[in-house]
Amino acid sequence: MTRLQLRRTTTGLTTSTTARTGTPPQTIDTVLVKTASRCNLNCTYCYVYNLGDDGWKSQPRRMSSEVLEAIIEQVGELSHRQNQAISVVLHGGEPLLLGFEGIQRLVEGLKDSLRQDAGLHIQTNAVLLSDPFIDLFASNDVGISISLDGTAEVHDLNRVDRHGRGSYERVVAAIARLLAHPSGSSLLTGLLAVVDPRSNPVDVYESLKATGAPSFDFLYRDGNYANLPFGKTRPESIEFGNWMIGLLEHYLADPTPPRIRVIDDIIRLILGGSGQKEGIGLNEYGIIVIDTDGKITRNDTLKGAYSGGDRFVSEPSIVGGRLQEYLSSTEFVEYFDLQIPTSPICQSCPELGVCGGGMPAHRWSDEHGYANPTVFCADQKLLISAVRSRLSAAINISSPHEVLDRAVLA
């Protein structure tokens, strides 16, 4: 492959004619391990179950010992072979549905096999987060991120169990139980909330803050040009942008603010620093998924583009295959290149270095594939503009595009 390519840097796009196929293996920074393919909740907006992809139906309910052992061996080996520190995230479905014994084997095995600077992490709805699990995670330094959408009213609108009952009380009780553990406050990495643009962002912020969690992150409702996200009336509308500005104002005025990762990333990028997660900025991230049956797949959020959008054609598996070898394959290279925004609108946008074109799954249209701006383009422009404006006012400079050098270099 020798096509002219846009390459990501922390400051913007550059062009390169370097052939990538045959180059050294892609660097991986995050490995998602789908320990269980089912969930004990049935959240209305879930991209795994309720956005059209039905790949979960053909998956085993839980990871087998064979798959667990292959992950421990091969992901551990990968962490020693590359310079980049690696993060392993237990994910689902609901990862705790694997059961205590399986989670214990995986966590303790990875603790032994991974390089010392690797991170172990779990993303859970917390309903099954019992004291034995908390003890296990404390013993193995497993960071815990919990899904909580804000107030009881907002959370229980969507995060319901199979009987339609809200999960808020159970989740908040689990957070309190975790924070009561001697290691709890250092284990809780933060809360992950999905934005409901009909809600009050100040109420959501204060409700999340009241849990005692040190940081929050916010996700937009999944969707694209073929299927607009819930709450967005048309691609040009700004429901999510307006909601985020309400959140921004309250956050910036709070004398004791927790962290909000998505807003911190935008501020950091405007100030000339680097973003820290996918979907913002132009850093290139290496994210792979090990599905419950051991298949290696693309980023699972791509399920939200079209059914099967997260699968590789060759269906590589961590059982009987070599993870390291797949990372040099053409389809892996093409998958990683998917992060690069290819829409002419993005390529000429002055905010591309901060926005990054958004999540690839949110760029999808039936007509142009991923070659679109994010469906949240108008929202992001509004939010980024608001952050620039607030930064300019705070630092007392005349132009928001002075990039705040004065503040950073002072």
Binding site for other proteins (CB under 8 A): 29-30, 32, 47, 85-87, 89, 91, 119-121, 123, 143, 145, 185-190, 192, 214-215, 219, 251-261, 263-264, 267-268, 271-274, 276-279, 285-287, 299-301, 359, 390-391, 394-396, 404, 407-409
Q: Edge to edge, what strands does the sheet with 188-194 contain?
A: 259-260, 215-219, 188-194, 142-147, 119-124, 87-91, 30-34, 287-290, 296-297
**Whether 213 contacts 178, CB under 8 Å:** no
CB of 379 to other proteins, least distance (A): 15
> In the bound complex, what is the minimum distance in angstroms from residue 110's beta carbon to other proteins?
12
SS3 341: coil
Nearer to other proteins, 189 or 342 (CB): 189
The residue to which tokens 């392993």 are assigned: 88
Q: What residues contact residue 327 under an 8 Å CB cut-off, 6+ apart?
A: 25, 26, 28
Judged on CB neighbours under 10 Å (0-12, 13-18, 19+), 118 is buried
Which CB sits closer to other proteins, 16 or 186? Answer: 186
Of residues 91 and 295, the one with the C-beta less far from other proteins = 91
Q: Which is nearer to other proteins, 152 or 252 (CB)?
A: 252
**How near is the Cβ of 351 to other proteins at its closest, in Å?**
18
Sequence-distant (6+) residues with CB within 8 A of 228 are 234, 235, 375
Q: How many CB atoms lie within 10 A of CB 202?
A: 13
Question: How far lies 18's CA from each of 2, 4, 7, 171, 299, in Å?
Answer: 6, 8, 10, 49, 25
Q: Which of 410, 403, 407 is nearest to 269 (CA)?
A: 403
List CB contacts of 11: < 8 A, sequence separation 6 or more.
Answer: 272, 282, 353
Closer by beta carbon to other proteins, 105 or else 277: 277
Minimum Å gap between C-beta 19 and other proteins is 26
Q: How far is the CB of 263 from other proteins (least distance, A)?
A: 8
Instruction: Specify burial of residue 104 (Cβ count, 10 A radius: 0-12, 13-18, 19+).
Output: middle
Instruction: Report how far residue 409's alpha carbon sits from residue 407's, in angstroms, rounded to the nearest whole number.
Output: 6
Is the separation of the CB atoms in 30 and 299 below 8 Å?
no
Closer Cβ to other proteins, 4 or 410, answer by number: 410
Whose Cβ is closer to other proteins: residue 41's or residue 367's? 41
Nearer to other proteins, 74 or 123 (CB): 123
Give min distance, CB of 146 to other proteins, in A.
Answer: 12
Q: Residue 223 CB, nearest distance to other proteins (Å)?
A: 14
Least separation in angstroms between CB 184 and other proteins: 9
